[in-house]
């Protein structure tokens, strides 16, 4: 089975899924490991650097990352336990919002606790692109898209572009 990445092009059903808060995974079963592997494959196919459960219609607290210079990682039931005061402004895109790119301000460094696909708990300190990707993917678990973090002027610009894409099909 090939999993499909849900795109928010004004499609109400996809938007409804992307806007939900994901539930904990709790039991890291063989099925969860299989989904994690499929999510990594889908992320690579889409040339993305991260992908979260809700983006493939799996409303559980799981995401995968593959930041430049890093290896693929799986985060299950993550908690962000620390973020730096220092904020960084950097351009983001999202596999669920094709064609949309915008600068978003986020903490530059973070510390996260999670479980990997083998059921092993870990703590990771991240900065740079990896920290950025983790924060973006974590937002997906809360039903938040990066465009929600733009100021009003830039957000309305993006929304009108999405509206045009919707009309174009
Ligand atoms: Ni995204």
**Residue 145 CA, ligand 1 centroid: distance in Å:** 7
**For the segment 7-44, what is each residue's pLDDT rounded down to a tens digit?**
876 667 888 889 999 999 999 999 999 999 999 999 99
Domain of residue 98: give its range: 13-168
Catalytic annotation present for 137? yes
**Residue 51 CA, ligand 1 centroid: distance in Å:** 6
* Residue 102 included in any domain: yes
* Residue 77 included in any domain: yes
Task: Output the pTM of the full model.
Answer: 0.94
Residue 50: give its domain's CATH number: 3.90.45.10
Paired residues of 75 in beta bridges: 63
Compute the distance between CA of residue 163 and CA of residue 169 in angstroms, rounded to an integer.
Answer: 10
How many domains does the structure of the chain reveal?
1
Compute the distance between CA of residue 49 and CA of residue 95 in angstroms, rounded to an integer.
Answer: 9
* Residue 32 included in any domain: yes
Q: Which of 2, 125, 137, 152 is catalytic?
A: 137
Compute the distance between CA of residue 7 and CA of residue 70 in angstroms, rounded to an integer.
Answer: 26
**Residue 108 CA, ligand 1 centroid: distance in Å:** 18
Compute the distance between CA of residue 121 and CA of residue 104 in angstroms, rounded to an integer.
Answer: 30
Picking from 128, 50, 137, 124, the residue whose alpha carbon sits closest to that of residue 86 is 128
């Amino acid at each position: 089975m090939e999993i499909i990445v849900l795109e928010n092009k004004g499609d109400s059903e996809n938007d409804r899924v992307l806007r939900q808060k994901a539930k904990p995974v709790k039991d890291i079963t063989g099925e969860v490991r299989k989904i994690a592997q499929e999510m990594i494959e889908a992320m690579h196919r889409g040339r993305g650097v991260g992908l979260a459960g809700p983006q493939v219609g799996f409303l559980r607290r799981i995401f995968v990352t593959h930041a430049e210079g890093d290896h693929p990682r799986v985060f299950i039931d993550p908690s962000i336990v620390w973020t730096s005061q220092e904020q960084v402004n950097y351009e983001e895109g999202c596999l669920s919002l094709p064609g949309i790119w915008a600068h978003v301000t986020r903490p530059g460094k973070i510390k996260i606790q999670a479980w990997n696909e083998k059921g092993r708990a870990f703590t990771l300190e991240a900065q740079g692109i990896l920290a950025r990707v983790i924060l973006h993917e974590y937002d997906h678990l809360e039903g938040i898209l990066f465009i929600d973090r733009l100021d009003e002027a830039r957000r309305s610009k993006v929304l009108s572009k999405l509206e045009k894409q919707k009309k174009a099909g």
